[in-house]
Structure 1
């Protein structure tokens, strides 16, 4: 659900917001912004309205006005359910955060759950689950079968069917209850649970959610790490989950730069190969294989990614 679709609670303000949306869709963002300003005069506490105003102002070339509107969003919503801090980063107004707020990611995917697979597969050509499963099978020295696979950020369960025949037990965890409900419909996972992968350094909250330390011999994260930024935290979780010699297979968006990671206009993070290798080494994982690939389309352009197959050293 877009912020502009959330009601202000005032009929007149909502009507002006609807007209503003029509103007924006017709290619008149400056006029749309003026109408949203009028709506917000009636409902100044409407955080979603301020976020929508920021969007219109940005499209109209009014970056400073967008920044002011986003700061108003944060003043009204300290939990940042709309991801205003990420947008402020993209606009150059603040330093890049290590990760997005959990409430933003949870809402994003709860709202997206019903149309997730249709949008991602049919419209955006998403193929990471198939490619990642194939790379695991093709990598030299990989086990033929696994006792316990943990699918982190399992979403609607697209990866599960790709490995189900190769595992005795398959568990999936995600922040979004909406996504987990869709995954349950596939009847592929032996267990599904809600977990926040951004809880490090307090790992206890993650494992209280049902993730059991020291049991998994396969851990996967398909199209998940681009919503985390700094990967130290999630790697601490993976390391604690994994038995010695466990396989960790995952994808990242390719930053296509020598080092570090970046936050893109899509509000997703992209990581360099060097940064990922550094994080892996720091948590006792060794790269066994990797592949570069287009992982989806975005606004008609290919999104380049890196698929990693790694193993925990004893």
Structure 2
């Protein structure tokens, strides 16, 4: 279910047509669903979520121009783009791939997902990054215990649970308030706060008042970088955060080795190995280990990713 299906137009007639459109779509008649959504939008032309739903139906019906026009209308009505319309335009080939997704889209996505995140990701999608990344840290770093660990994009705390026993102090940052609330319930973190890893270090929230640079000897980013295209900002954050000689463990979805980053139809980014190495080196990191692995299932197919362990120079 997308965010578009959660919003009413505010007009009972438009909503009724949209409901009929949804039923047609559920039955596989996307052309008919699109026609009914167009009727709903004639009644309520300022309904951004309705235009996004029309784009979904049009795309599934094979009408890319109609979908692209509807998505552009979404962006006019909702410039902060909580629907990810700009990403969808890029996937359709109707716009350039953005360097980062809209902050409001990512925040809304994970706020909506928080309640069912652990069950959906671990049990249904066989998500395995937290345990595999923790194993990479255990194999690659001889220290039995870290004084300070920072979990960037901590989500509900799946990696935090696996590193807690080795962390003297464990802090987590995430863009989603609802994800942070779920992490707080687990009581494994010493500090939790919001942060936006797409922003430069002074603005991201990781260095808010009282949170000093160079304070951590291990930082992690488990299943986070696939929601960023350009990786320079997050490497800058990690470099400022980690003490010299400290480590950064992170995962990406794997693109071809000669690619920089690509936007998949899942609206997640995949990154090429050479690009990751270059960005890490430019930021002041040496890559120590890289492991290719299946990180999750998606629509019944395995998604290949890569786990990295880097050391700050």
Superposition TM-score, scaled by structure 2 size: 0.97
Matches within 5 A, 1:140-159: 141-159=141-159
Asked if 1:252 is matched to 2:252, the reply is yes
Partner in structure 1 of residue 128 of structure 2: 127
Deviant stretches of 4+, over 4 Å: none
Q: Is the 8 A contact 1:30 1:57 kept in 2?
A: yes
Asked if 1:77 is matched to 2:78, the reply is yes
Query: Which has the higher mean CA deviation after the structures are superposed, 1-10 or 296-305?
Result: 1-10
Matches within 5 A, 1:288-303: 288-303=288-303
Deviations 1:124-172 (A, max 9, x none): 0001000000111112x43221011000000011111101010100000
Partner in structure 2 of residue 113 of structure 1: 114
Q: Secondary structure at the match of 1:308?
A: strand
Partner in structure 1 of residue 65 of structure 2: 64
Deviations 1:280-300 (A, max 9, x none): 000111111111110001111
Q: Secondary structure at the match of 2:187?
A: coil
Partner Cα separation in structure 1 for residue 31 and residue 210 of structure 2: 49
Asked if 1:6 is matched to 2:13, the reply is no
Deviation at 1:94, TM superposition (A): 1.0
Partner Cα separation in structure 2 for residue 258 and residue 170 of structure 1: 36
Deviations 1:107-137 (A, max 9, x none): 0000111111111011100010000001111
Matches within 5 A, 1:34-113: 34-113=35-114
Deviation at 1:259, TM superposition (A): 2.8
Matches within 5 A, 1:192-203: 192-200=192-200, 202-203=202-203
Q: Secondary structure at the match of 2:138?
A: helix
Deviation at 1:212, TM superposition (A): 3.1
Deviations 1:170-191 (A, max 9, x none): 0000000010000001000000
Partner Cα separation in structure 1 for residue 13 and residue 262 of structure 2: 41
Q: CA RMSD in A?
A: 1.3
Partner Cα separation in structure 1 for residue 24 and residue 155 of structure 2: 34
Partner Cα separation in structure 2 for residue 242 and residue 79 of structure 1: 32
Partner Cα separation in structure 2 for residue 76 and residue 206 of structure 1: 32
Aligned residues: 312
Closer/same/farther in 2, CA of residues 211 and 31 from structure 1, 3 Å limit: farther
Superposition TM-score, scaled by structure 1 size: 0.97
Q: Secondary structure at the match of 2:16?
A: helix
Q: Is the 8 A contact 2:195 2:204 kept in 1?
A: no
Deviation at 1:253, TM superposition (A): 0.1
Partner Cα separation in structure 2 for residue 211 and residue 7 of structure 1: 42
Query: Which has the higher mean CA deviation after the structures are superposed, 212-221 or 254-263?
Result: 254-263
Asked if 1:172 is matched to 2:172, the reply is yes
Partner Cα separation in structure 1 for residue 12 and residue 211 of structure 2: 46
Deviation at 1:257, TM superposition (A): 3.8
Deviation at 1:203, TM superposition (A): 3.7
Partner in structure 1 of residue 19 of structure 2: 18
Closer/same/farther in 2, CA of residues 43 and 198 from structure 1, 3 Å limit: same
Specify every segment of 5 or more residues in structure 1 that has no aligned partner in the other structure, as ranges: none
Q: Is the 8 A contact 1:193 1:210 kept in 2?
A: no
Q: Is the 8 A contact 1:211 1:241 kept in 2?
A: no
